[in-house]
């Protein structure tokens, strides 16, 4: 696979050495991230999927949607800048806006912040967070997070 990617000009590598993305490789990676996150957002907003269900579905759909349909989805959604988990969606030029957020586990229990991102790695943790009525932009203290959530929630710390 590395040889195929190198032949396409997407990576550079030395045998048994490091692999690095080229500028073209970074652009392609951002294009795929954009597709995935837009599809996740579309599934949540347009079809009622919950945030713990969208990842696997998006993995399939991101590879089959045309660029034209993806652009239409982006426009229909109002050109969102983040997906349902708070991950930034690169714009059509590949620019990414990231909030200045800190993993809740790295903060003291009394720290308060606005939820900026919630990891989608563990569906069970996502469900506990949802059951606690915590979502993006919720203002909360670290101590108020459900069990296991401090390792999955990033906060923009409030003064």
Q: List per-block mean pLDDT (blocks of 10 residues) for the chain, which spans 159 residues.
A: 87 88 92 96 94 89 94 96 95 91 96 95 90 95 95 94
Nearest residue to 53 (alpha-carbon basis) of 116, 120, 118, 138: 120
pLDDT given at position 39: 97
Contact between 49 and 43 under an 8 Å Cβ cutoff? The reply is yes
Residues in CB range of 18: below 8 A, 6 or more apart: none
User: Of 21, 42, 76, which marks where a domain is finished?
Assistant: 76
Is 117 a member of any domain?
Answer: yes
For residue 112, give the 3-state DSSP assignment.
strand
Number of domains the chain is built from: 2
Query: Do residue 8 and residue 71 come from a single domain?
Result: yes
The predicted pLDDT at position 14 comes to 85
Same domain for 108 and 45, yes or no, is no
Which of 41, 76, 111 terminates a domain? The answer is 76
If asked whether residues 117 and 71 sit together in one domain, one would say no
Domain presence at residue 150: yes
pLDDT on residue 119: 93
> What local confidence, expressed as pLDDT, does residue 132 receive?
95
Residue 83 lies in a domain: no
Q: What is the pLDDT of residue 26?
A: 92
pLDDT value of position 115: 98
Answer whether residue 148 is part of any domain: yes
Inside any domain, residue 87: no
Same domain, 18 and 66: yes
Is residue 53 in a domain? yes
Residues spanned by the domain of 135: 102-157
pTM of the predicted structure, to 2 decimals: 0.83
How much is the pLDDT for 80?
A: 96
Cα–Cα distance for residue pair 15/9, rounded to 1 Å: 16
């Amino acid at each position: 696979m590395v040889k195929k990617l190198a032949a396409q000009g997407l990576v550079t590598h030395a045998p048994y050495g490091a692999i690095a993305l080229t500028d073209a490789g970074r652009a392609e990676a951002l294009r795929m991230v954009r597709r995935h996150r837009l599809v996740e957002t579309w599934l949540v907003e347009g079809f009622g999927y919950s945030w713990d269900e969208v990842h696997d579905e998006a993995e399939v759909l991101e590879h089959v949607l045309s660029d034209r349909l993806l652009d239409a989805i982006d426009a229909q959604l109002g050109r969102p800048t983040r997906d349902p988990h708070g991950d930034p969606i690169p714009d059509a030029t590949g620019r990414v806006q990231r909030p200045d957020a800190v993993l809740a586990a790295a903060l003291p229990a009394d720290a308060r912040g606005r939820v900026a991102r919630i990891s989608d790695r563990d569906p069970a943790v996502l469900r506990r967070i949802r059951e606690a009525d915590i979502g993006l932009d919720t203002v909360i203290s670290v101590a108020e997070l459900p069990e296991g959530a401090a390792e999955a929630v990033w906060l923009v710390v409030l003064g």
